[in-house]
Amino acid sequence: MSHQSVSSPPDETLASVVVVDYGLGNLRSVTRGLERAGAEVTISDDPDAFVEADGVVLPGVGAFREGIENADSIRDDLLAVADRGQPLFGICLGMQMLLTTSEEGETDGDAAVQGLDLVPGTNVRFAQGQKVPHMGWNELQVERDHPLVAGVDGQYAYFVHSYYAVPDDEGAAVATTDYDLEFPSIVANEAGNVFGTQFHPEKSGETGLQILRNFVEICAEE
């Protein structure tokens, strides 16, 4: 188990957050963003740290299969975070891992790789003539109330992805973004404690910082 503590920001911390270290993702920039938003951050893959934290962040960059396989040893611990009602925040690949499956897992001929199934649905590849990956700034359209999206309707966030989420329940889309088709850029489970952004809040300037602040406030209220 790697367990690395990260210094908290000088001003008052509002909540303790664990950034899950499972070998994928730029943990440093996510950590810095969370610290700026008022979190005390620990980077860890220790399930005990998940239990003690006010909230858990599942970051991720790369392929769905690799993400799921890397996180396999802590799958039950991540499901337990959701089960306890703790806030669980997936970013980019981390968001896609909250769903049930991905077409990306099927391309090499194997059976579909099983995601966490916390937001039932599948991830599909952009295939309507869009340039892949979808890369750069795009607009967020808030579709329903959720504390994560306070103050960000119509704002722009930074995306880099080739697959997008198609939840079984349309109501799982908290915000959508248009890229020749409308896709969910923020999803959440029915209980509202499991959610994810397809974009990178830590690379999305003021909009991203607002979302990270909203997340820290959700954690502080738990």
Catalytic residue list contains 92: yes
Catalytic residue list contains 134: no
In this structure, are residues 219 and 195 in contact, taking their beta carbons and an 8 Å threshold?
A: no
Catalytic residue among 35, 134, 143, 200: 200
Catalytic residue among 35, 40, 104, 202: 202
Catalytic residue among 35, 40, 92, 134: 92
Taking the alpha carbons of 208, 189, 72, 77 in that order, is the dihedral positive or negative?
A: positive
Looking at the DSSP bridge assignments, the partners of residue 40 are: 16
Catalytic residue list contains 219: no
Q: How far is CA 140 from CA 57, 131, 166, 215, in A?
A: 21, 19, 17, 17
**Residue 92 burial by CB count (10 A; 0-12/13-18/19+): exposed, middle or buried?**
buried
Tell me which residues are annotated as active site: 92, 200, 202
